Structure 1
């Protein structure tokens, strides 16, 4: 698969950008602050429906605009795909593939494949565990798109459970009557995510070790990759 054409409208600093691309390396050259990284971010958004720089969609929309659009034509084997994402902060985003709307935006996940290297990747080793979990979960969804639903449901249940605990402090009566139900949902969904993370780490471990050995050279310690959890494994 390769990206044949990219168009963005009202995305970050770009009012409109239209790029025709060819197979092979493409180098974007320009002064600082001209929007080169914004174009890379737009391509990454098609693959993950998220940004590697911010956690919300609002900063992706150009100042003064109400929505942003990222449109890309991709060639996979002999098949042509047109992917369009309409980013609407505060409202539901819209996604179309070959002009046909998708029922849910996350149905796009797994269709566009990208690998991104950015300065923000240092957070994987310097940041807190939440950054590493986010990286693993993004990779999980890219590899197994159905896990996007599990991840979304887990986040939703966690927020509702936490909201229940907060309101229970002020409420009277049996405000925590449904806590066991939320705990059950959280345990089930969290277990699915944990199992998938463990499998992913096991699959990645030999590649990490080999890649490190190729850089460190003979005689260096062998790199290891593991997953530590507060839940007994």
Structure 2
């Protein structure tokens, strides 16, 4: 799998760029702030429908423009699909597949499978649970739009139920018939939250079970003298949601556990006006030896664990018979010689490798392919990114 054509219009610092890419390493070289990361961010967006750097779409649209357009032609085992995304600064985004409108933007998920390595990955180990939930949800969503649909529907129900909890608190304080009506409505939303939450939780647990052996093996290769690393799922509803041994997660069992816990915590939830149970409160435990890595692992161990998570993600996709596009966003500058060597060895078999670097010397000499220079130009008082040169790289091909 590789991206053959990439076209951007009004995406971040790029007013307009058309790139022809090949199944080989391509290294985007430019000073910090010149826009090289924006190129791989656009490819990442085509695969995940989100940026790896910001949580909203508005910053992706060039200043002064109403929308940005990202178009990618993806080739996979001789089959070619062209995906176009219109990213709006306000309102819903639009997508087309081979010029035909997609019913929803998420219908393009799975057409491009891509894994990004970036300095932000350190937050997978050291950051908040939301970082790790996003990581596992992306792995689930790349398996197709129906997986993303369950999470989207869950988020919608969660917002509506949370609003109802606030209403319930006010109604109970007033007393009267309003309180009974609100509580009855809350019963309905509890059922929906439990059903959708069970689908999201089960999908996460199943993907995590497949990911863990790859993670353990890749961490051992990166840090052979460290303690063994593994992954675990921590559910706010309790360990009852977890399957026994290697059995698949049971959606019905998880739904019943969630429904029971929602009933037990209803008074507390109404008092606080928030939903306290569900996959939005769960976490992924990254375990080193017998300890959860967050707050315990050293800086070097944290980088190794983060790198192992991304390498394991690649192996997970490869296990499905797909070779994903691999992107390295200025990561060589963050790694020591041993980790650089491990990363080079792991990615040398990639069909397409996209790399960004501020300093060309940060790129190991064994990586060949093409170098694309990225610079900036001023036009009508507006700064924009431009391609300055394209050259054949030295080293292995």
TM more than 0.5: yes
Contact 1:49 1:106 (C-alpha < 8 Å) held by counterparts: yes
1:231 matched to which residue of 2? Answer: 237
Contact 1:209 1:223 (C-alpha < 8 Å) held by counterparts: yes
2:85 matched to which residue of 1? Answer: 85
Contact 2:84 2:95 (C-alpha < 8 Å) held by counterparts: yes
1:221 matched to which residue of 2? Answer: 227
1:200 matched to which residue of 2? Answer: 207
1:42 matched to which residue of 2? Answer: 42
Where structure 2 has 5 or more consecutive residues not aligned to the other structure, the ranges are 241-397
Q: What SS is found at the alignment partner of 1:64?
A: coil
1:98-177 superposed matches below 5 A: 98-171=98-171, 173-174=178-179, 175-177=182-184
Equivalent residues, number: 232
In structure 1, C-alpha distance between the alignment counterparts of 2:192 and 2:146, rounded to whole Å? 17
The answer to whether the aligner puts 1:212 opposite 2:219 as a matched pair is yes
1:76 matched to which residue of 2? Answer: 76
Q: What SS is found at the alignment partner of 1:6?
A: strand
Q: Which has the larger radius of gyration?
A: 2
The answer to whether the aligner puts 1:96 opposite 2:96 as a matched pair is yes
Whose RCO is larger (CA < 8 A, sep 6+)? Answer: 2
1:187 matched to which residue of 2? Answer: 194
- RMSD over aligned CA atoms reads 1.4
In structure 1, C-alpha distance between the alignment counterparts of 2:219 and 2:74, rounded to whole Å? 33
TM-score (norm 2): 0.57
Note the C-alpha offset of 1:83.
Answer: 0.9
Contact 2:74 2:111 (C-alpha < 8 Å) held by counterparts: no
Where structure 1 has 5 or more consecutive residues not aligned to the other structure, the ranges are none
In structure 2, C-alpha distance between the alignment counterparts of 1:50 and 1:102, rounded to whole Å? 17
In structure 1, C-alpha distance between the alignment counterparts of 2:70 and 2:210, rounded to whole Å? 33
In structure 2, C-alpha distance between the alignment counterparts of 1:85 and 1:144, rounded to whole Å? 17
Contact 1:164 1:176 (C-alpha < 8 Å) held by counterparts: no
TM-score (norm 1): 0.95
Note the C-alpha offset of 1:22.
Answer: 1.3
